[in-house]
């Protein structure tokens, strides 16, 4: 019985070990792709959770003038903006650090706050050399930070 060479090839390809090798090889490629994608995104975001894009705005009225603080609870990034200018800094353990400040009051028109004394998501209190316990109220409702699944 001389079989057709195509039929013999077909039988070799569909042996159990060939099917298993193709199946598990496909799974291995998929796993490597998923893990590689996660690792690449973690490297780009400097962590597994992407950083929030927008900061909440808190409007403050003080004797030195009105200003806004841009801050998101749980992050260390902060900005303060007045009619005179903008200053960026960080928050660590409720203490503000303004590396660009350098003591020049003309940047904001006053000395920026040094301490965040209270923050509850709706408002905050800040203290500083020119600011004695100033209350700030959050603008907006924070929906920009909520992730909602929408049907497509």
d(CA 150, CA 41): 23
pTM above 0.75, yes or no: no
- Summarised one tens digit per residue, pLDDT across range 21-74 is 888 999 999 999 999 999 998 888 777 776 666 888 999 888 888 899 998 877
Q: Which letter does DSSP use for residue 120 in this model? A: -
CB 118 within 8 A of CB 41: no
- Burial class, 13, CB count within 10 angstroms (exposed 0-12 / middle 13-18 / buried 19+): exposed
At 21, which helix (H) or strand (E)?
helix 16-45
Contact (CB, 8 A) for 112 and 101: yes
Arithmetic mean of pLDDT, 124-147:
75
Per-residue pLDDT, 32? 97
């Amino acid at each position: 019985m001389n079989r057709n060479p195509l039929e013999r090839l077909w039988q070799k390809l569909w042996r159990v070990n060939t099917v298993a090798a193709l199946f598990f090889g496909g799974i291995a490629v998929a796993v490597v792709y998923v893990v590689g994608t996660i690792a690449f995104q973690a490297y780009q975001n400097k962590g597994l959770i992407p950083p929030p894009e927008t900061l909440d705005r808190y409007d403050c009225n003080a004797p030195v003038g009105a200003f806004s603080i841009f801050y998101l609870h749980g992050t260390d990034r902060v900005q303060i903006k007045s009619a005179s200018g903008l200053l960026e800094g960080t928050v660590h353990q409720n203490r503000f650090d303004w590396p660009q400040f350098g003591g020049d009051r003309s940047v904001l028109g006053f000395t920026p706050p040094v301490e965040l004394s209270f923050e509850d998501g709706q408002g905050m209190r800040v203290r500083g050399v020119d600011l004695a316990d100033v209350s700030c109220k959050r603008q907006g409702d924070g929906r920009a930070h909520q992730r909602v699944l929408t049907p497509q």
